[in-house]
Amino acid sequence: MTPVLPDEPLPRRGPPDPRLVWRALGTVADPELPAVSIVELGIVRGVECTADECIVTLTPTYSGCPATRVIEADARAAVASVTDRRVRMLTALAPAWRSDWIAPEARRKLAACGIAPPRPGGAGPAITMTPDRSAIRCPHCGSRRTEEVARFGSTACKAQHRCRDCLEPFDYFKPH
Ligand SMILES: [Zn+2]
């Protein structure tokens, strides 16, 4: 696949081009995590293009997440900006989204805006059942002496934590 240059004009007519569809989807942010795109979060699981339509498969990070509908609508609009053919959005709930699908770059961006990204591999049932909350690293100072303040932070997908060293509050993006 040849990468599409950022200054390359986007055609709005004609059959969907997967490269352009991926690029368009790369501009769609999760409304709860505006710093990162749904592609970086691993929410976009597949893009299938035929002459007549584009089928995009999404796996929401959290099945009860109210942002899911917003994401789907935004993703649909983004794809419609690069093709005039039919756009179909599919939701795949199995396999369930895993936090280790988040791209390394996206983890850095989450940390940069004060959100502790989920630990890689932190989504497995073994870890979810016995969460080691104290090991979550503070995105501000890097300390591991952090505590959970509220199970739900600014949104249901995030828990509110506080650092015992720098005393800064932060959101922890919960692995599901
Ligand atoms: Zn800290």
> Same domain for 111 and 159?
yes
pLDDT mean across residues, the chain: 82
CA of 170 to the centre of ligand 1 (A): 9
> Same domain for 131 and 81?
no
- Look at residues 67, 98, 68 and name the one whose alpha carbon lies nearest to residue 175: 98
> Same domain for 24 and 78?
yes
Q: Say which CATH number the domain at 69 has.
A: 3.30.300.130
pTM above 0.85, yes or no: no
Q: For residue 6, is it within any domain?
A: no
CB 49 within 8 Å of CB 21: yes
> Same domain for 115 and 142?
yes
Residue 31: band (very low, low, confident or very high) from pLDDT cuts 50, 70, 90 = confident
pLDDT digits (tens, 9 = 90+) for 73-87: 999 999 999 999 999
Q: Which range marks the domain in which residue 78 is found? A: 18-91
Q: How far is CA 134 from the centre of its chain?
A: 24
CA of 108 to the centre of ligand 1 (A): 16
Number of domains observed in the structure of the chain:
2
CA of 144 to the centre of ligand 1 (A): 8
> Same domain for 149 and 125?
yes
